[in-house]
Structure 1
Amino acid sequence: MVETPLHRNHDFTVLWVGQTVNLLGTRVSMFVFPLVAYALTGSALLAGLAGAAELLGTALALLPAGVVADRVDRRRVLRWAAGSGVVLYASLVVAVALDALTLAHLLVVGVLTGAAAGLFAPAENAAIPAVVPTSQLPSALSRNAARERVADLVGGPLGGALYAVGRAAPFLFDAVTFALAWVLLGRLRTDLRPTPRTSATRGSARRDLIAGFRFVWSRPLFRTLAVWGMGANLAVNAVFVAATLRLVQDGFPAWQIGLVETAAGLSGIAGAVVAPRLIACVRTGRLTVVVAWSFVPLLLPMVCWSHPAVVAAALALGVFLNPAGNAGIAAYRMSVTPPELVGRVQSVSQFLSWSTMPLAPVLAGALLAGLGGRATVAALAVLTALVALLPTLSRAVRDVPRPDAWAAQADWTGAGGRQRLPAGAQAQPRLEGAAGDRREPAGAAPGHP
């Protein structure tokens, strides 16, 4: 049977376009929130809190969102998340028009829209395997990685331009993007309801959540990737922060420092374009190990030279393989996870991966204050190398094959009623909460947020 190409797959296109406009609105709001908070209060601290509100809401929502994604019709969850964004951002437009906007209102909207994003992510991740065949998962997730990079590049400048028009303009744009996503998601045709649940587990959200953690932690591959994702996200994001702060300390103008982010973003887009070919040609385990080590040699020039051109070249080259690493391991995790557990496994993995990211600026700042620029980059290079040893020394990671062999390793009950297991694996007892493992995570490959 000939598979429908992704660009002609109606439901994947709806999901992709819907989340693309949704993501663009989110990036605009993340850029604008600190500016509005500072204009309201004149406090840099409160502006920083406003910028963190959305991330906090997402982190808080991820774990329960995985349970929801495995219990409720995912189409309804996706539309509810998009619709809540319309209402929340419209409330800010009204508040600005009435000259009644307060910091508390802004923070509440930030947290709640972040929670909506956290609710959306596991539901979308659980929906993708339902609308895309396993052989096309790497390409589908590579396209998702590309849209994130594009949103990162466009969101800031667009947010700044809209803010220059008027304080309400960015919020109106956000409301419109969420409304468009809500309309598009209503056109999904695939049945996205989760598989029927047993009566013994219905209603036990805590048991369902534990089942997701247990599934990730009981498998050596997923467990290794989870720990590696936590360490790699801490180290790599600390590198980005430290490199930027070092350039600031050395007196380079803001426009030159901004080119570092631009170079990294463009490289990420290019990496997403070639990711499907890389994933198809290289064993996924080996590709993961290469990604784990990709930043280490590139940090050596940064130890010796603090210059925007050197930093931009090093970080751009390091980011290039990230989309392939993220998409490859995330697609493999989806393909071998039981369908009724996909939402929880994705949310648990994403939550663990995100858990260390808020510590990255703290680590970078502390090292710069205590060691200075050159020693800080050297220390982070050593940390990145130590973290890279985790997947390198794990046979479970190294042995992950190319996509054409993934189907034979699916760890779930197939249509014939028999559990399909990786070669040489022993059958696992049935998990509580099961009816019969992404950015990003089982510990996603590291990525600059």
Structure 2
Amino acid sequence: MTTTPSPQLLPDRQEPPRRSKPLWRNRDYNILWISRSLTEVGFNASTMAFPLLVLAVTGSPGTAGLVQGVNAAAQLAAGLPAGTLVDRWNRKAVMLACEAVRTVALVWLVWMIWTDAVAVWHMAAVAAVLGVCSALFDPAEEASLPHVVPPDQLATAVSMNHARNSIGNLIGTSLSGALFGVKRVLPFVADALTHVVSFCMLLFVRLPKPARPEEGAPPANFRRETLEGLKWVWGHRLIRVTALCAIAVNFLFQVLYLVIIVVAQQGGVPAAQIGVMAAMFGAGGLLGALVAPRLYARCGPRLSVVLTFWVMAALAPVTLATGNGIVMGLVLAGIAFLAPTANTAISTYQLLTTPDRLRGRLSGVIGLVAGVSAALGPMIGGLLMEIAGARWAILLSTLGIAVLAVTVTLNPTLRSFATPDATQPTEDAPGPR
């Protein structure tokens, strides 16, 4: 005789896991993405216009470079403390304040240009303000990303942010010359308008408010909090190693880009083809960012990083065997293609592993060292060409990349490099040392 089990003994029905809605339907992420895309266009338009404006006012290339350097120096100087402040303050309020300050600074510069009263110190002051605002805005936005995007879509969101930056660069630099040719003030007007629109859009982004300090917690101490961020980055072995990989990739990009362009120029490649080479480099990065989510899903984090180094080592010497600008451009595009996948793997791991209260400081530390490496790249590339010549500079760069590729391939820490389990809560304690 068969008996029917009583209802209370029946196993509970398990509901199928809910699937995240597509990223293109994520309201808050789309607001962030579109607003930042607009400001990237404006930023690149004014960045290209700054040296043109300085040259028009002073006729001095050295002064033009100085004003550009003020922006980079301000961003680097503010990078580390900015990360600490972002972890203290309301991140949405930080982004809104940055957009408001940028708008005021640019409107003031526009007025100075319009009234023919603009001087070098006006431009340097605005460049410094924009640099400090970037140092605050960037970690605030990056630290906010895990709050608006589900963990399983974070890699896609990171790669789409890389694509956004490439699109802004391509459109902004293209518009800059045309706008400046019509009226000197127009690139800066465009930049100011993008920040006004961004400010209005960011008002509608939903982000959590910062947690209140626990009872009995020690009082806030800026120096201690900054050191805590540094210790986290250095104390977590895999974060430290992946950060060094990202810095190495971006540094070598800067070296190779400059050296290959000079090799093309010295080899008699026409200026028009050199311009096409630069465009192909940007297009390669943009295409790589668009396909990065699929490559990352197929290759996994470790292989994404290892492949980037080996492809760079394989492609760089090809430029020595050709004097054709289009072929060189294809090499640059190939070098740029895999970088977004490697950066996606590294950034996704870092954001998922780092506690929310430390994400601003993580971004500040990474941004600082990445900025230094980006500044040193062209400098080292130029020194290599001065000492050994452009062709030897490519060979030496390739040798250095190959050594790094072998090191990355054999590194025992990177063997455990995998996407962390996003369902598990992030611990505040440092990872394996």
Q: CA deviation at 1:305?
A: 2.8
Q: Aligned to 2:427, which of 382, 404, 412? A: 412
1:121 alignment partner in structure 2: 138
1:225 alignment partner in structure 2: 242
Q: Aligned to 1:130, which of 132, 142, 147? A: 147
Structure 2 portions without partners, runs of 5+: 1-17
Question: Do structure 1's residue 373 and structure 2's residue 390 form an aligned pair?
Answer: yes
Describe how 1:314-353 pairs up with structure 2 within 5 A: 314-353=331-370
Q: CA deviation at 1:306?
A: 4.0
CA distance in 2, matches of 1:54, 1:271: 28
With over 3 angstroms needed to count, the CA separation of the structure-2 counterparts of 1:75 and 1:342, relative to structure 1, is: same
Using the TM superposition, name which of 382-391 and 295-304 deviates more.
382-391
Q: TM-score, normalised by structure 1?
A: 0.88
Question: Do structure 1's residue 312 and structure 2's residue 337 form an aligned pair?
Answer: no
Q: CA deviation at 1:48?
A: 1.4
Q: Aligned to 1:94, which of 111, 114, 117? A: 111
Using the TM superposition, name which of 114-123 and 243-252 deviates more.
243-252
* Contact 2:254–2:377 (CA under 8 A) maintained in structure 1: yes
* Contact 1:67–1:208 (CA under 8 A) maintained in structure 2: yes
Using the TM superposition, name which of 211-220 and 230-239 deviates more.
230-239
2:81 alignment partner in structure 1: 64
CA distance in 1, matches of 2:253, 2:218: 40
1:194 alignment partner in structure 2: 210
2:15 alignment partner in structure 1: none
2:262 alignment partner in structure 1: 245
1:24 alignment partner in structure 2: 41
Describe how 1:32-431 pairs up with structure 2 within 5 A: 32-191=49-208, 193-198=209-214, 200-401=217-418, 403=419, 406-407=421-422, 411-412=426-427
* Contact 2:249–2:339 (CA under 8 A) maintained in structure 1: no
With over 3 angstroms needed to count, the CA separation of the structure-2 counterparts of 1:289 and 1:202, relative to structure 1, is: farther
Q: CA deviation at 1:200?
A: 3.9
CA distance in 2, matches of 1:42, 1:247: 28
Q: CA deviation at 1:220?
A: 1.4
1:416 alignment partner in structure 2: none
Q: CA deviation at 1:409?
A: 7.0
Q: 1:196 is paired with a residue of what secondary structure?
A: coil
Q: CA deviation at 1:274?
A: 1.2
With over 3 angstroms needed to count, the CA separation of the structure-2 counterparts of 1:196 and 1:241, relative to structure 1, is: same
CA distance in 2, matches of 1:377, 1:166: 41
CA distance in 2, matches of 1:70, 1:116: 15
The residue type paired with residue 212 of structure 2 is P
* Contact 1:69–1:122 (CA under 8 A) maintained in structure 2: yes
With over 3 angstroms needed to count, the CA separation of the structure-2 counterparts of 1:275 and 1:232, relative to structure 1, is: closer
The residue type paired with residue 16 of structure 1 is W
Counting matched residue pairs gives 415
CA distance in 1, matches of 2:194, 2:303: 39
Using the TM superposition, name which of 303-312 and 134-143 deviates more.
303-312
Q: CA deviation at 1:28?
A: 0.9
The residue type paired with residue 195 of structure 1 is A
Larger radius of gyration: 2
Q: CA deviation at 1:66?
A: 0.8
CA distance in 2, matches of 1:232, 1:180: 34
Q: CA deviation at 1:367?
A: 1.6
Q: 2:268 is paired with a residue of what secondary structure?
A: coil
Q: CA deviation at 1:149?
A: 0.9
Q: TM-score, normalised by structure 2?
A: 0.91
With over 3 angstroms needed to count, the CA separation of the structure-2 counterparts of 1:301 and 1:73, relative to structure 1, is: same
Q: CA deviation at 1:338?
A: 0.7
Q: Percent identity?
A: 31
The residue type paired with residue 241 of structure 1 is L
The residue type paired with residue 248 of structure 1 is Q
CA distance in 2, matches of 1:106, 1:15: 28
CA distance in 1, matches of 2:308, 2:145: 24
Q: CA deviation at 1:408?
A: 6.4
Q: CA deviation at 1:227?
A: 2.7
CA distance in 2, matches of 1:200, 1:46: 49
With over 3 angstroms needed to count, the CA separation of the structure-2 counterparts of 1:188 and 1:88, relative to structure 1, is: same
With over 3 angstroms needed to count, the CA separation of the structure-2 counterparts of 1:390 and 1:74, relative to structure 1, is: farther
CA distance in 1, matches of 2:369, 2:425: 23
C-alpha root-mean-square deviation of aligned residues, in Å?
1.9
CA distance in 1, matches of 2:163, 2:182: 28
Using the TM superposition, name which of 84-93 and 275-284 deviates more.
275-284
